[in-house]
Amino acid sequence: CPSHRRNPSSSIGKPGNSAVAGLGAGKAGRAVLGCATDSAISPGKRALTITIYGITTCDTVKKARVWLDNHDVPYRFHDFRAEGLDAKRLDGWVGKVGWEKLLNKSSTTFRELADKDKQSLDEKKAKALMLTKPTMVKRPVLEVGDRVLVGFKPEAYEQAVR
Q: Residue 78's beta-bridge partner residues?
A: 53
Asked if residues 77 and 15 have their Cβ atoms less than 8 Å apart, the reply is no
SS3 141: strand
Asked if residues 148 and 93 have their Cβ atoms less than 8 Å apart, the reply is yes
The helix (run of H) or strand (run of E) holding residue 118 is helix 115-118
What is the end-to-end Cα distance of the chain in Å, rounded? 22
The answer to whether residue 35 is catalytic is: no
The Cα 23–Cα 132 span in angstroms is 27
Catalytic residue among 41, 47, 58, 144: 58
Residues forming the active site: 58
